[in-house]
Amino acid sequence: MNKFQKDIHDYLDYLKYQKNYSPLTIDGYQRDIEQFTVYLIEQNINSFGDVEYAFLRGYLTKLHQENLSAKTINHKMSSLRGFYRYLLNQELIVDNPFLLVDSLKEPQRNPDFLYIDEMIALLDSIEINTSLGRRNKAMLELMYASGLRCSEVVELTIPQIDFSRQLLLIHGKGNKDRYVPFHDYAAQWLKDYMSEDRKELMAKKHQEHSYVFVNKLGGKMTNRGVEDIVNRVMQHFDATKKIHPHTFRHSFATHLLQQGIDIRVVQELLGHTNLSTTQVYTHITNQHLKEVYDHAHPRNK
């Protein structure tokens, strides 16, 4: 193991055992750091401590030439800034040149969502004449009912479901737990799927685990699997539109705010640490109100 690999290995252990970061987050850090390391080797840089600000400008130019978005470049810089902060704290380097790199300005992008009638129609269009179809129905109804992230629905286990109170205990980003409710309609689909279809799917390969949503062989669902299901369901409903799993979460938040729910309640349900993260949805609802107003006001005809 060379010096680069040892420093990276030690940092990833630090993220896992001391910071309690999720495997997905750690994988992202590892990719960003290893990509940077490849560039160092190409430029004959022998250690992380030899990197100076002028060198980083060359790396930023390389990232721009790869046509990466400002958001992606900022994410990579954030990963490396954190890594260098760790190296500095461990006294493996003498300064952190990434502190001199300003974040790029990102274009404002509103979360995509479906209107209420579109979402209901989409969910009602799901084929339910097979075990996989009923699994899809239960899963997407729950995602919309509770505003779950894709990773949260994938990692959901049976002990996290309280049917008596109709609550889910969700282990969210940064190992932050929260309780979120789910309504009667989602509860019924979830119960039916778990009592019949889940058992049928798991029996195919004699699977035994507590994950709620399973693939066609009864194994644990993956993020990619959920994305494929969402794509197929939308393709069947409206082939001209493309959505992703987060659309259900965005729609959940937008619809609650449109119905007058306090933004701090929505913040709690989504598991946002900062209210500013939730406030992006108020822009969407205000925009929607303006569209309704423009369409309805007699003087605007």
Q: What is the pLDDT of residues 152-210, one digit of tens each?
A: 999 999 999 999 999 999 998 777 899 999 999 999 999 999 999 999 999 989 999 99
Q: Is 272 a catalytic residue?
A: yes
CB 35 within 8 A of CB 80: no
| Active-site pick, 84, 86, 211, 281 | 281
Is there a contact between 158 and 169 (Cβ–Cβ < 8 Å)? no
pLDDT class of 112 with cuts at 50, 70, 90: confident
Exposed (0-12), middle (13-18) or buried (19+): which is 142, by Cβ within 10 Å?
buried
Angle (deg, nearest 10), helices 116-124 and 223-237: 100
Query: What pLDDT is stored for residue 238 in this prediction?
Result: 86
Q: Residue 151: name the closest of 53, 23, 283, 289 by CA.
A: 23
Task: Report d(CA 284, CA 295) in Å as an integer.
Answer: 17
Q: What is the mean pLDDT of residues 91-115?
A: 79
Domain with CATH 1.10.150.130 in the chain: 3-100
CB atoms within 10 A of CB 180: 21
Catalytic residue among 134, 137, 149, 250: 149
The average confidence (pLDDT) of the chain is 88
Q: Based on the residue annotation, tell me whether 173 is a catalytic residue of this protein.
A: yes
Q: List helix spans (H) across 193-301.
A: 198-203, 223-237, 246-258, 263-270, 275-278, 280-296
Tell the residue number behind the tokens 């509103």, with chain if given: 110
Q: Which of these is catalytic: 135, 137, 255, 272?
A: 272
Task: Please say if the pLDDT value at position 225 is more than 80.
Answer: yes
Do 154 and 224 contact (CB within 8 A), yes or no? Answer: no
**Which CATH class for the 116-295 domain?**
mainly alpha
Task: Give the tens place of pLDDT for each residue, 31-66.
Answer: 999 999 999 999 999 899 999 988 999 999 999 899
Residue 211 CA to residue 156 CA, distance in Å, equals 6
Residue 117, exposed/middle/buried by CB under 10 A (0-12, 13-18, 19+)? Answer: exposed
Active site residue 198: no
Q: Give me the pLDDT at residue 84, please.
A: 93
Enumerate the CATH 1.10.443.10 domain ranges in the chain, comma separated. 116-295
| 149 given a catalytic annotation | yes
Catalytic, 246? Answer yes
Domain 3-100 has CATH 3.40.50.10540: no
Instruction: For residues 145-155, give the mean pLDDT.
Output: 95
Residue among 181, 194, 186, 182 at smallest CA distance from 135? 194
Catalytic residue among 62, 173, 199, 220: 173
Cα 172 from Cα 43, distance rounded (Å)? 39
Catalytic residue among 62, 220, 246, 288: 246
